[in-house]
Amino acid sequence: MAANPASDIIDLRAVVKKVLQRWWWFVITCGLAGALAVAYLKVTPKNYLVEARMLMGEGDRSGFGKKEDFLKGMSLVRGSSQLEDDIAMMTSRTNILKTLRRLDFSVTYYERANFMVKERYDYPPFKVHLDSAAVQITGIPVNVSVDKAAGTYTVSAAGENVRLYNVQQQELMDEFLPSYRIKQTVRIGEPFVGDHLSFRIDFPEDRTYDPHSEYFFHIVSLEQQLMNYGSRLQVEVPDNKGHIVRLSMTGHAPNKEIAFINKLMETFIEGALYKQQQKGRKTISFIDDLIGSASDSLRRAEQRLEQERVGSGTLDPLGNSSLLFQERSKLEDERGRIESRVMYCGSMLQRLRASDDIRNFPPPTGFDEPALNSLIIDISRLNAEIDAESVNAGVKNSPAFIAKQRKRKNLLGQLEQLAESVLERSQSDLARTRARISEISYSLGQKPKAERIISQADREWTSAEASTPT
């Protein structure tokens, strides 16, 4: 059967005519939708997005180069291979629980006005101090009505299947109350003691209470806080060559979310520092074990010294040759310290001339330079302050921020001058020390073979005795 071409044509006039015949339905529908939208905006709290960024890796940037990076593995944040592990540690249950215990979000305050509920974190209407020895209810609102004229306040709460919370142990109990009702009036200044509800409440003098508003608080268990913040915390992993991790969270109280994210990062850094301290203690223990094994070397050196004395028949084996060996040993140790100072200052100058960024630059090791160490600490502390303030775009143009940048530039100039001075002095000392070592080595070469053997054995014995712990 052939298709009818007229059936494929839409008659727009007929459609418009039908719409105009029922125009009031469209007007009513649009009016209701607009009213519902306005009502939703009026009664729904605003959500705020809070973001923070944290450097958790250094990538391919290095101050000494890969071969000379002898402190690799001892830094707080490691390379990109450890980035995912660090993120997992920071967002772990243990780290979040430790953060929440430090913040004490066990009580949250709210105000209900015109059908809108707002969390009052920055300016709570009152302050509740829970009795840690009592078992408290949790999961239902506890209303507080204040009558300053009468000097009293009324506490009321109601709910079904109410959970109980052990404040002292910070654990939810298995028991629950099938039905709970309480309404009790207490004079201001006196603690409240009721059925599974005990606390002390403070009413600041500068607070005013709207008679058309309702004020209440929630007792939130630690496990509930963990579920709340753990589910809302978002971590954005950077790309392969990036090392800036972005943490974000949405909530109704922006300052509360900011406090949580800041404390979370602080807790993670403290945990990482503690692990590095434990690594240092294990290293010290390993060194102690090596020193303990030196007792065997001491006994062997004593036996060799005795045999050489008897075999050579020398009456004074510890004469001039022994003194020369001791002096050369001290000079070799001094040469090592001077070379470390030369390498350190040279690397620092190379780093400063290439870039003014000396973050994660290690302090002097193997030699004593208090002025150099003090400057590095001051610059590192100032860099940390500048990095913390540079996150806020408005602070970058403030006079205080610009003054800190100028101060850092001046300190870097002082550090460069001091490093050049130490390098010049160290090179001169190194030349003199090498010359003296060459003179002593030539003098020892002229000594009789027997005396050299005995002196060397005595030197081994002295070294082994010095390395053995008392």
**What is the token pair recorded at 80?**
């990109």
Domains of the chain from N-terminus onward: 49-102+230-278 (3.30.70), 106-219 (no CATH), 297-467 (no CATH)
- Edge-to-edge, what's the strand order for the sheet holding 244-251? 48-55, 244-251, 234-236
Q: How far apart are CA 96 and CA 267, in angstroms?
A: 9
Give start and end residues of each alpha helix (H) in 174-319: 222-232, 254-292, 294-312
Query: 248 has which bridge partners?
Result: 51, 234
For residue 456, how many other CB atoms are within 10 A of its CB? Answer: 17
pLDDT tens column, 105-115: 999 999 988 77
Which residues touch 296 (CB under 8 Å, ≥6 apart)?
none
pLDDT at site 107:
94
pLDDT of residue 317: 47
List of residues 6+ apart from 178 with CB closer than 8 A:
160, 161
pLDDT at 182 over 80: yes
Residues 101 and 260: beta-carbon distance below 8 Å = no
Rounded Cα–Cα distance for residues 429 and 423 (Å) = 10
The pLDDT of residue 313 is 46
The DSSP output letter for 158 is: E
For residue 430, pLDDT over 70 is answered with: yes
CA pseudo-torsion sign 122, 127, 129, 130: negative
Each residue's pLDDT tens digit, 392-403: 656 666 777 777
Helix (H) or strand (E) holding 118: strand 116-119
Question: What pLDDT was estimated at residue 129?
Answer: 94
- pLDDT value, residue 33: 86
For residues 431 and 286, the answer to whether their CB atoms sit within 8 Å is no
Please state, in angstroms and rounded to a whole number, the distance separating the CA atoms of residues 84 and 65. 24
Write down the mean pLDDT value for the chain: 79
Nearest-angstrom CA–CA distance, 229 and 61: 34
**Is 70 exceeded by the pLDDT of residue 391?**
no
Cα–Cα dist 143/28, whole Å? 40
How many whole angstroms separate alpha carbon 213 and alpha carbon 207? 13
Beta bridge pairs of residue 252: none
At 359 the pLDDT is 62
**pLDDT (tens digit per residue) in 201-250:** 999 988 888 888 999 999 999 999 999 999 999 988 887 777 788 999 99
Q: Percent of the chain, pLDDT > 70?
A: 76
Query: Which has the closest alpha carbon to 133: 200, 181, 183, 187?
Result: 200
């993670």: which residue's tokens?
268
Place of tokens 């303990």: 292
DSSP 341-365: HHHHHHHHHHHHHH-S--TTPPPP-
| Helix residue spans in 57-159 (DSSP H) | 83-90, 93-103
Structure-token pair, residue 227: 């579920």
Per-residue confidence (pLDDT) for residue 66, from 0 to 100: 46
* Higher per-residue confidence, 449 vs 146: 146
pTM: 0.54
Q: How many CA atoms lie within 13 A of 329 on its CB side?
A: 13
| pLDDT tens digits, 125-176 | 999 999 988 999 999 999 999 998 899 999 999 999 999 999 998 899 988 8
CA distances in angstroms from 184 to 155, 190, 316, listed in the order given = 5, 13, 99
Please write the tens of the pLDDT for every residue from 245-295.
899 999 888 999 999 999 999 999 998 888 888 888 888 888 877 777 766
Integer-rounded Cα Rg, in Å, for the chain is 38
Highest mean pLDDT among 90-104, 316-330, 378-392, 455-469: 90-104
Query: Residue 448's pLDDT band (boundaries 50, 70, 90)?
Result: low
Residue 126: per-residue pLDDT: 93
39-45 contact pairs (CB < 8 A, 24+): 42/114, 42/115, 42/116, 43/114, 43/115, 43/116, 44/116, 45/116, 45/117, 45/118, 45/119, 45/252
Overall average pLDDT of the 313-329 stretch: 65
